[in-house]
Structure 1
């Protein structure tokens, strides 16, 4: 667990997220010299035993450059096409750079949806472990060619945070075109000061970040703080450093005062509970009475069927569902029964489950170890 800069030298596994502003140029396309320099640094760490995952932006940007689609807003399908054009160029650049260090790379294209389903999440985790064992570098990008919803051009910060959880990383490093979080916009204020360490991200920090991205990325500093918040809650430290500054990554990992470091807070959730709150997509909803809500909120109890008054949605055993009390959503958790089974046992005592269903797998609907409170009201 990284709780100070001195702990950084003991990191064993690091996710390095590289933004589009560093990788793509409107005239030249891919910035191979930047990739070569960053890969040289990462390969040096790998030779010392550090395991590295690269989360990269840039496929849509490179596709836009290739097709000359720079001066207009693209449709969703054009963005998907740009991603399909740019992705092989991006992978080729990384493959060439790592080949100079006798390292192979592997492409992992993910969507947030992949990480919200337990089986796909575990598949991604197992695949990454196999690649680490083989000494192969995972190169992760969002699968923009199949994303139908809004494609966030150049914004893979949240994906980087989720990947850091999937691969059980010690540290998430976000490389960008600034040297960290400043108390003011350094482009507008000459007296702006970089914040070196943040123990707990609060609203004041979010306000400092603003929401503007670079010309080749829309994530901006605010999205990086949101990613850092997600990572640190799961026990993964995070850092924002300049990807343009030679040697910045090595200085950071050596424990020097480089960039902005976000420490793992004492209020962090277990990784399992973080997965429930931050990654999984709720498949349904269970409504509970005031007594059950109080037991969950004030007594740390498991959810029993007697307190359930309604079930909405279609879900299977082990799916993530939301728990709604009289005043709104109060928790999320992994349900021990299907939606249909829940409709049959709701309102009944736990001792009646076997007579109703013909079997009795669990006394509780959701065990407290698989339940995370999202509200205190």
Structure 2
């Protein structure tokens, strides 16, 4: 395998100097099938995080490992496949994981607060805001927020992709200036370095740098893998948050100089909280089918969606819900917050604004609430 020399690019400078950061740590960096949590490795990670905090950064930790931490205490020799056993392992492991982080940071007289989130907490705006306030308050009190997916109640445990997507969502939630994805891989390669020759990719500035990259799925302890990490890194970068993908064993260098791993440059303009929520966090409650003219208006000209361009409605949604916009080729072209119920909207199909009663002359989806997919 070939690793290219690293330079302190604009993205790496932004990551190294970031004031508020999110650090995601993968299951494989914290646990093993034989012994559950590895406290020595966790201590070294806490050391690196504490050093970053003492250098002036606020840090939120997104920690995988709850299920892995629960395997050994329950006498399980491999990661379970059925949901009930996963939830049982998580219920044991979450206690062990929170205690381990608390014990490790107590060496620095630092308090830890556990924050368990589910996908639904990001889909619902009120829950989303509550999580934001909790993490902000922990930060202002000098505590370390340790976030994990609430696996004990999650019905789709792999929804966040071993917490990689969760970490990207949390990074936007707290207004992070950088996201660190730390696991058992040194960075991004164009193939699997364990299976032969693979080239190391030091920097991802645009999607063109990912041409030919083959990303695999997760290992025995986690549900993520490179595909999940790559997706999360692109999500965060799209939201305006630069990302460093690096090995947990190099956490001190990653959180220090930032000269290891793969850096993902952020888009120049950060998405607003509402537009990010619409695009990435909210669940779609239905779909609106639109004609070619409406596709041009909403996806290319950033215009509001009017009833005249609508040819069909799918699902039972209500005003204020997020829906997908589907073009004539059946591809999703945008998402947005709809103003009308599905039943109400079905009576408006294809009608111009002047043909509608006064109560229905608002745009179906305002341009400010539309995001191109």
Give the TM-score of the pair, scaled to structure 2.
0.88
Deviation of residue 94 (structure 1)?
Answer: 0.5
Matches within 5 A, 1:98-247: 98-151=105-158, 155-189=162-196, 192-202=198-208, 204=210, 207-211=213-217, 213-245=218-250, 247=252
Cα distance, 1:75–1:299 mapped onto 2, change above 3 Å: closer
Q: Distance in 2 between matches of 1:298 and 1:158?
A: 27
Which of 293, 308, 320 aligns to 1:318? It is 320
The answer to whether the 8 Å contact 2:241/2:270 transfers is no
Q: Distance in 2 between matches of 1:135 and 1:72?
A: 35
Matched position secondary structure for 2:101: helix
| Aligned residue number for residue 334 of structure 1 | 337
Matches within 5 A, 1:1-377: 3-71=10-78, 73-151=80-158, 155-189=162-196, 192-202=198-208, 204=210, 207-211=213-217, 213-245=218-250, 247-251=252-256, 254-255=257-258, 257-266=259-268, 271-328=273-330, 329-351=332-354, 355=358, 357=359, 363-374=362-373
Deviation of residue 337 (structure 1)?
Answer: 2.7
The answer to whether the 8 Å contact 1:284/1:321 transfers is yes
The answer to whether the 8 Å contact 1:234/1:271 transfers is no
Cα distance, 1:182–1:307 mapped onto 2, change above 3 Å: closer
Q: Distance in 2 between matches of 1:232 and 1:120?
A: 24
The answer to whether the 8 Å contact 1:206/1:225 transfers is no
Deviations 1:247-306 (A, max 9, x none): 22334xx24x21111111358755543332221111122223443333334433211123
Give the TM-score of the pair, scaled to structure 1.
0.87
Report which stretch shifted further, 132-141 or 309-318: 309-318
Q: Distance in 2 between matches of 1:239 and 1:74?
A: 31
Deviation of residue 334 (structure 1)?
Answer: 1.0
Report which stretch shifted further, 70-79 or 86-95: 70-79
Deviation of residue 321 (structure 1)?
Answer: 0.8
Matched position secondary structure for 2:213: helix
CA-based RMSD: 2.6
Deviation of residue 125 (structure 1)?
Answer: 1.6
The answer to whether the 8 Å contact 2:191/2:213 transfers is no
Matched position secondary structure for 2:76: coil
The answer to whether the 8 Å contact 1:333/1:372 transfers is yes
The answer to whether the 8 Å contact 2:70/2:90 transfers is yes
Q: Distance in 2 between matches of 1:91 and 1:160?
A: 17
Deviations 1:209-231 (A, max 9, x none): 333x3332231112111110111
Deviation of residue 103 (structure 1)?
Answer: 1.6
Report which stretch shifted further, 339-348 or 6-15: 339-348
Q: Distance in 2 between matches of 1:156 and 1:282?
A: 21
Q: Distance in 2 between matches of 1:72 and 1:341?
A: 48
Deviation of residue 13 (structure 1)?
Answer: 1.0
Cα distance, 1:214–1:324 mapped onto 2, change above 3 Å: closer
Deviation of residue 136 (structure 1)?
Answer: 1.8
Q: Distance in 2 between matches of 1:201 and 1:136?
A: 37
Report which stretch shifted further, 22-31 or 341-350: 341-350
The answer to whether the 8 Å contact 1:305/1:349 transfers is yes
The answer for unaligned runs of 5 or more in structure 1 is none
Cα distance, 1:72–1:226 mapped onto 2, change above 3 Å: closer
Deviation of residue 101 (structure 1)?
Answer: 1.5
The answer to whether the 8 Å contact 2:158/2:223 transfers is no
The answer to whether the 8 Å contact 1:181/1:195 transfers is yes
Count of equivalent residues: 364
